[in-house]
Structure 1
């Protein structure tokens, strides 16, 4: 990918430079291969100038044997060169796939809704696919074009000039292809991304689409997006395909022109008959890499755009340094003047929130919809970085931990529960391959879901399906609660954990919160209903992104729920449940 300037010190550039030994090998093979490409023209030259005049069959047989050996050597080297280039692409993927996957995971947490979804993975696939195609071979063969032109000049100046003019025309056509195809190719990529985003959103919300009669309208939107994509794709294909066809015709015309010039020279006894054929073969061979480069220009442009986009993204989201391993937190959670904005947005959602909790305490976070509760707890678990202020565990800010190490000490149940394809046991254990059965069962019992799980068809080995589709919403939420409790984490954060629970689930939730507090955990609960905060002893009231009240539960609830003196009737604080105090 040398065509992408300005990326010499990038992670992609470093990964590619690690393969420089392989590239040197490919370059040497290309040198030998291009020398072997002379076999056909020299063979024809010898046949016309030596074999036919002498009528020597042994000479003909000897030439055939030699040419066959050279052709076989050329084929083997060409095969090896292609495989090496394919393995360079694989090596690049192996070096970067973990880093790119980590970037995909961090994208929505860094850029929010402006993130590019799975595009980085597709970009890496584009680069690897291009390296494994015939495109790079054409670029390795292009530098040898002067060699063939030089031999054409050695045959005769007129043949050399004819081949040189053809080369200039085809190289100019390549530059025109680059200029004309860049913008259409970029536009087609953008339209493809928007179309894929619409398809993914429709798949996620299939139930809503069907239940509310939106399928036909969204199908129409998909049709419009697909039509725009097809038009953009067709435009890019027309440009590269049309210029490729022109290049092919010009190359055939050049070959005929060289034959014509050679015939003219033979008529005037300035060249032999063998030079006619040899010159024609050499001129065609000289311009074959240009023709091949034009044929693969579309994939080259796509790979170059992927290279630039992926390189820019990796620079924007640098690799996280490995922090020092800290002791497991065991005593205190403190929030110090925290201000929070959504990723990719400068608008503050939470401002100047400060509080502290010690081991064994439980905090209930209440407030109206849109007050910033969920944003606050995302900062508590390190999902969102505070715009200002710090969240600390035992005095250490969360950014001093790696996410893997921090995750061992945090249990998190988000508002929108997501389970991964796998078994119930795998989801509870957070896909820890070294997880012990007794630890998984202990977490399930603490969450009150052990009895529910063993009644499933395969018990803990029951597959939950993609995104937990094989479970009901209540079952998925309770399994996710067990996942949050797995490993006895110090900080447990539950965002509306009873939104899909029945009475039995509510009671199990309260018992789980109290049990976690008894073993010394800090528990933070955002709840729709009062029953969700039965197991806590502290209350934080959030209003318009600011801390309205914080303190012991009975004291704060008495303060915020007391009737106001003014007005014809008492006014009560409305919870997220839509009217329940």
Structure 2
């Protein structure tokens, strides 16, 4: 306005220089404020990690034991990244600029009422497009997250089982499944992109048309001498500045919808995660384990796997759990260490239910060797010490010796510092199992649960396993060994037999196994009669 209404008519260079200095100063402040705003947005994005980081990591451990987790189980990690990425990007900038629209429109009315009404009509149309973008993008964004999770889960499963896929040649079958999921993912992505792209293009065209319309209205007003040339140009620029955030918001609406859905899931996750704080810390267990009328189902299911299981163990006891496949042995192991929660009944350590313990404190008193052994990328020492940064060499070596793997470990060139790769990929199955046994024995836990601990062991490994179980009993701990092979029961004194989810027998090993393996009653010797004439011969 000043350039067109003062500088040009008055041919005043000093006025132009003064305006240039004022404009440069204002632009410098604008740039500084935008820099500060962008830096604040980055830090706000980082605050999402600070707020949800611990919850998300805890959910990776706890949620699979509480409910059925779809996909690869990493949706919460992607949700946190999505929210952080959106808050650190240009999306919030548009949302922060939109509230200034009434101020800009008020200036348009200040210039002239017809310029104001023209700008207001265009603004209403753009806001309508924004609302339409919200309605059209909500469901595709939710569906996109679901399909993306399925797609990632299949990709990771294929990579994890690549050897079996390659050896048995069913990669092309998985390829068809991948193509089907990927087709749905791309179709959903295309549909949502088309919606946002179409609305974004319409908003851009509308904004340019509106800018020209305001220029035309201003020209009419200049012709009618109701406005100056400066007002005509300034109002056109001002309308473009007022409506640019709406256009930007429509273009960023897909990211906004995804971030909103991710934020909602993170809030739900926070409510699902149990509080780990305990007002009273229970002492270390030293007396015994008691299972009371345990009914157990898989997470998210109401169909019981175990029904009415009850038994009691004292310090120094070792029990072997045997039974046919699908009898509930591994499920019982998960319940005993607190992974799965009972439908009814209770598991108690020294009289206290497992849920009364602080999870971290409880873990120090439990050793667990799962049926599917899994190690972490790092050194042998780190895996044995459960990645405790304050673990002492004495405790690591003691656990290795208790598991009978000390001699095996020192045979490696780097000994305990040997890097084993992701999931222990550089080790054999038996080596992984024996190192996992040492991890279970680290810190001399009171309760040690071993699920099929000899599935990959040779004779030397089985002998070491027997010595480890005997060592647990000797120091006053409790050992529970789940096995199919009788050799794993050499060190136990009790046996629990499961079948169809129920306890069939429990007691001293010799008595129970004697009943199970008692020879069947011999059938009577068949009698054959031979008839010859009038005589009968046997």
Shift of 1:323: 5.0
Between the aligned partners of 1:565 and 1:307, the Cα distance in structure 2 is: 68
Deviations 1:358-412 (A, max 9, x none): 1111100000000001101111111111111111111111111111100111111
Deviations 1:206-236 (A, max 9, x none): 1221111111111221122112111111111
Between the aligned partners of 2:272 and 2:360, the Cα distance in structure 1 is: 21
- 1:183–1:566 Cα change, 3 Å: farther
Between the aligned partners of 2:104 and 2:522, the Cα distance in structure 1 is: 97
Deviations 1:39-72 (A, max 9, x none): xxxxxx0000011111111011000011000001
Which residue pairs with 1:210 in the alignment? 166
Which residue pairs with 1:250 in the alignment? 206
Shift of 1:564: 3.5
Q: Matches of residues 73-472 of structure 1 in structure 2 within 5 Å?
A: 73-114=29-70, 117-472=73-428
Contact 1:99 1:319 (8 Å CA) reproduced:
no
Normalised TM-score (structure 2): 0.96
More displaced stretch, 201-210 vs 47-56: 201-210
Contact 1:498 1:528 (8 Å CA) reproduced:
no
Shift of 1:563: 2.9
Between the aligned partners of 2:482 and 2:94, the Cα distance in structure 1 is: 61
Q: Which runs of 5+ in 2 are unaligned?
A: 526-538
Contact 2:52 2:266 (8 Å CA) reproduced:
no
Contact 2:42 2:87 (8 Å CA) reproduced:
yes
Q: State yes or no: 1:527 paired with 2:463.
A: no
Between the aligned partners of 2:524 and 2:420, the Cα distance in structure 1 is: 53
Shift of 1:313: 2.7
Which residue pairs with 1:516 in the alignment? 472
Between the aligned partners of 1:318 and 1:366, the Cα distance in structure 2 is: 33
Deviations 1:518-570 (A, max 9, x none): 1111100011211100000000000100000000000000111113448899x
- 1:300–1:47 Cα change, 3 Å: same
SS at the partner of 1:415? coil
SS at the partner of 1:264? helix
Shift of 1:321: 3.5
Contact 1:108 1:115 (8 Å CA) reproduced:
no
Contact 2:452 2:481 (8 Å CA) reproduced:
yes
1:505 paired residue among 461, 465, 471: 461
More displaced stretch, 208-217 vs 273-282: 208-217
Shift of 1:320: 3.4
SS at the partner of 1:551? strand
Between the aligned partners of 1:218 and 1:521, the Cα distance in structure 2 is: 47
Shift of 1:105: 1.6
Between the aligned partners of 2:524 and 2:426, the Cα distance in structure 1 is: 51
More displaced stretch, 186-195 vs 313-322: 313-322
Between the aligned partners of 1:449 and 1:100, the Cα distance in structure 2 is: 35
Contact 1:49 1:273 (8 Å CA) reproduced:
yes
- 1:512–1:304 Cα change, 3 Å: same
Contact 1:163 1:254 (8 Å CA) reproduced:
yes
Contact 2:295 2:343 (8 Å CA) reproduced:
yes
Contact 2:72 2:150 (8 Å CA) reproduced:
no
**How many corresponding residue pairs?**
525
Which residue pairs with 1:492 in the alignment? 448
Between the aligned partners of 2:312 and 2:489, the Cα distance in structure 1 is: 18
- 1:98–1:568 Cα change, 3 Å: farther
Between the aligned partners of 1:372 and 1:502, the Cα distance in structure 2 is: 26
Shift of 1:113: 4.7
Shift of 1:86: 1.5
Between the aligned partners of 2:254 and 2:141, the Cα distance in structure 1 is: 8
- 1:314–1:566 Cα change, 3 Å: farther
1:474 paired residue among 421, 424, 430: 430
- 1:198–1:422 Cα change, 3 Å: same
SS at the partner of 1:562? coil
Between the aligned partners of 2:253 and 2:229, the Cα distance in structure 1 is: 37
Give the greater-gyration-radius structure (CA): 2
- How much is the aligned-residue C-alpha RMSD, in angstroms? 1.4
Contact 2:323 2:484 (8 Å CA) reproduced:
no
Q: Which runs of 5+ in 1 are unaligned?
A: 1-44, 570-581
- 1:263–1:565 Cα change, 3 Å: same
SS at the partner of 1:112? coil
Shift of 1:470: 1.1
More displaced stretch, 538-547 vs 105-114: 105-114
Runs of 4+ in 1 over 6 A off after TM superposition: 566-569
